[in-house]
Structure 1
Amino acid sequence: MSVITLVLIFIVNTLGFTDTITGSAMGCGRNWPLCNGQIIPSVWTRATFIEYFHRLSVLLGGGVLIGFTVAAWRSYRQIVSVRILLGLALLGVVLEGALGALAVLFVNPPAVMAAHMGIALITFVAMVLITGVIGQADCRRFDSTGVAGGRWMDRNQQESERWARTFSRLVWWSVPYGYGAIYVGAYVASTGYGSFFHGFPIPTESFAVAGAALWIDILHRSIALGYVIWMAVLVYQSWRHRHSHRRQWNLSCAAFVLVCLQAFFGWLLIETHLSEIAFLLHVTNVSLLFATQCYLGWTMLQERHLRRHQDRGALIRIS
């Protein structure tokens, strides 16, 4: 059920991104929840088709999420993280629907549209983490990151603990940074400023041509460069302990590959003059990137919990 719900949330987000890039938000007019005053519109256009099925996907995804929440609460409510993540996913869906309704009924300010994407991303990440937590709870076995068969530390205990603290801080500070980078990118997309620029990686347009949009674009590209560097640092840090912390090493490599793809899709956006396919690749990839970061941070929380549990057991045996 968690996997099905996760896939549906991903589809909802993808249709929402499609709605944005194609300018189909007004495909059903300024009516909500009806479409052009009807339950099923009698006149279909491309914008109507995209907007209508986006609304249907939200309804279906929200219904399945509620059903999954009830089932998960009955079976896993003793796990604190499941309760927290379920609440976060439900809150995200409610806020996402509310912002979507406001975007239809009123003017679509870029800040609100960017917030809409950010909240959709939080819902998706919450479902990714819930799926991982439930999968591990069913397996009932843990390794260095929460799966059986591994070690949580190196032979040198002090060095491993010191590395774990440093790496955990790097990972968790990268999460708000990544979220901020995504928000700025969504803001740029909502304002339409991206169409001003053609140079990469540095915009070749002058301030006289682009105006204030130039500074916003430079900010976005600078933050994106910092994103790539930060993921490279995570790969370097995890490489030093890749044998004893293989899960963190694999996730760090995945995050670095995804952030490099994000840069490539950014270049593709500029080269294709903001084509719809390039935009969808860009926003879908960043969803996977942010989810990977959050899951990496989650493994560090699990490791800390496991370390405390082992330390407590050692103290009991000594006493």
Structure 2
Amino acid sequence: MADSSWFTSFPQLDRKDLTVFKKTLDGAYREFSRNYGELIEGFFDPLLTFLIWFEKLLLASPWWLTMAIIVAIVYSATRSWKLCTGVLASLIAIGIFGMWDDTMRTLSIITVCTLLSIVIGVPTGILMSRSNRMQSIITPILDVMQTMPAFVYLIPVVMLLGIGKIPGVIAVIIYAVPPVIRLTNLGIRLVDKEIMEAATSFGATDTQKLFGVQLPLAMPTIMAGINQTIMMALAMVVVASMIGVKGLGQPVLKSITNQYFTLGLLNGLAIVALAIIFDRVSQAYAKRSQKHLGNRHD
């Protein structure tokens, strides 16, 4: 049997010292929240205004108009009437079962979170692809963001900003943005070096190579990252409902606490329907864009 005496003699922090250390950190964060909380809230005010406006727009618009716009967007992205029919049937079922308003609330926050994740993630992925040092710095941060339980990073966000839409958006983005960053970096790094050398020989600048060669060739990989980001954002809907984000997550949370099986099942299926719609549309758009790219190169 292995000798474990070394472990018992391992130096450990005294419990009093550990308690003092924890209280010091807690006190410092509370002081930071008091001093800078309002300033940070003010920084996010334009985003909150846009979120409220977008949600009210979706809720106030006639259901038939919203359905028509969504189906038109799906068709313009996929050119598939079969997929459009499936999306229309899903939206009609959501309306029939009385989940339209909650679905629109969820759709508004997921759309905003996805757009913000793309705005943050794609430039960060490009930065990582340009520098091995940046990749070595950012990769551990992404590892922490993906492995840290969502409830843990909800604590400082709620302490700083309270409950509501903005803390929910921040929590969703922290959880959902790593895939688009990783796959943007990967997609650009996988572009054939011979193609890059050819572009250089034609006198292309770094910017021209990025937007004219690397990003178009990496688009299928980037779209896969965006797809995963959307799926992870939808997975956070129920967790975000715990800090006041209205939508399909709140009825699911209510069904858990009150054991309403049917309520939880129906709203869970509505979340699944949204996930499938986003998944199929993003995949179809990626395939279609790649096909056009292939035709252009031919």
> Structure 2 length normalisation: TM-score?
0.29
Larger radius of gyration: 2
TM-score, length basis structure 1: 0.28
Taking CA–CA contacts closer than 8 Å with sequence separation of 6 or more, which of the two structures ends up with the larger relative contact order?
2
